[in-house]
Amino acid sequence: MDFDLSDKNKEHIQRVREFIKAEIEPVTDQIVREDDIPSDLMGKIARAGMLGVAVPKIYGGIEATNLDMILIAEELGYAGTVCAWPVFMNNSVAETLNFWGPDPIRKKFIPPLCDGTSFACMGFTEPATGSDPRAIKTTAVPSDNGYIINGTKRYITNGNKKGYGLFFAKDTKKGLTAFLVDKNSAGYRTSRPWKFMGLEGMNCVDVFLKNVYVPKENIVGERGKGFAILLRWIATERIQQAAYMVGIGQAAFEESVRFAKKRIVSGRPLGHMQGFQWMLAEMKVKTDACRYLTYRAVCDQDKDRPVEVLSAELKIFVTQAIQEVTRMAIQIHGSYGYTRGFKVERLFRIAAHAGVTASSTEINRSIAGSNIFRGNQ
């Protein structure tokens, strides 16, 4: 087992790091203030090689690996930026369309996700359900060589941005089906973005679908096989989220080390006190452990091994570990850590999201636990 990144991986990380420092970090406060990302940023992100990562070049991708995507996610987490979410969404939906096809869908819908001219979204969650496909109320009724879709979706990231979204509805004859829905369609409407305790600018909205027509050519995969598409996609989302959390943990640790070196208590730097040294040691160990478990998961993904259960285990471990790392960062900073303007305060609020988004930790405990009793551990 080789724990060293290749020179190509390292070069990619360095380019991404330089881009984030030059183009994303300077607008972080603007994003928080305006609760939105600048309109030209996705194009810049695409030109920096951060979109279409695991997609073939023939469809506009850069034909790299999921590991490369995870390294990008880690850098975005380190910066503590909400820009991670449109990057994740465009990459994961493009990869999903490439996997499930068919080819006309690949040729039409993937390139705009790779060049940043389109914003992807995934529409599964509804007001009455977050994880149970049986509780979905959105319907798709056959009509005029296509379908009429009605329903409401909740917490849809970039549901209010231009492009297409992958929406899941109950096909009256075949079960849960995945449809590509044009966000400019008649009958497609969104709420204002939800206000969260962190992740300002994430653009999470409710989507109201009233008699929205979708041509049958926009079905992804097979009719009635939508849940399989969702399960595979959400496993990818969990791995990306874990990498993002690793970056948050690394940033919280480094911010705390810097603070412990310069903060003087009783004539000595804070870091000379054993209690704080122990906290820093624990922060580093937790972050490193999360990183290697995340890399293990994405390497399995790149080998086309099933990662639904491993990504659930990842969610359980990484979420709690990095939330604790950011909590300790607040503690080391004292009152400064609870003060707006200090990076650890923002990291703490961002880290709180991981327990309840991309499927809750409780759901993932059930996934991992039931797998044990199926004899697959």
Over 80: is that where the pLDDT of 3 sits? no
Q: Which percentage of the chain shows pLDDT scores above 90?
A: 80
Return the domain boundaries, the chain.
7-114, 121-223, 227-372
The pTM of the full predicted model, rounded to 2 decimals, is 0.95
Fold for the domain defined by 7-114? Butyryl-Coa Dehydrogenase, subunit A; domain 1 (1.10.540)
Identity of residue 99: F
Do you find a cis peptide bond into 102, omega within 30 degrees of 0? Answer: yes
Residue 85 exposure: Cα atoms within 13 Å on the Cβ side:
25
Task: Count other C-beta atoms under 10 Å from residue 58's C-beta.
Answer: 12
Q: How far apart are the first and last CA of the chain?
A: 21
| DSSP 3-state of 115 | coil
Task: Please state, in angstroms and rounded to a whole number, the distance separating the CA atoms of residues 337 and 329.
Answer: 7
Structure confidence by residue, pLDDT tens digits, 86-143: 999 999 999 999 999 889 999 999 999 999 999 999 999 999 887 777 788 999 999 9
Assigned token pair, 298: 């994405």
Structure confidence by residue, pLDDT tens digits, 225-259: 899 999 999 999 999 999 999 999 999 999 999 99
The CATH number assigned to the domain with range 227-372 reads 1.20.140.10
Structure confidence by residue, pLDDT tens digits, 327-358: 999 999 999 999 998 999 999 999 999 999 88
Q: 192 exposed, middle or buried (CB, 10 Å; 0-12, 13-18, 19+)?
A: exposed
Sign of dihedral through CA atoms 78, 79, 82, 85? negative
Q: Which of 2-11, 205-214, 254-263 has the lowest mean pLDDT?
A: 2-11
Over 60: is that where the pLDDT of 195 sits? yes
| DSSP 3-state of 141 | strand
* Confidence at 162, pLDDT banded by 50, 70, 90: very high
Task: Please state, in angstroms and rounded to a whole number, the distance separating the CA atoms of residues 312 and 310.
Answer: 5
| DSSP 3-state of 369 | helix
- Which superfamily does 121-223 belong to? Butyryl-CoA Dehydrogenase, subunit A, domain 2 (2.40.110.10)
pLDDT score, position 6: 87
pLDDT score, position 163: 96
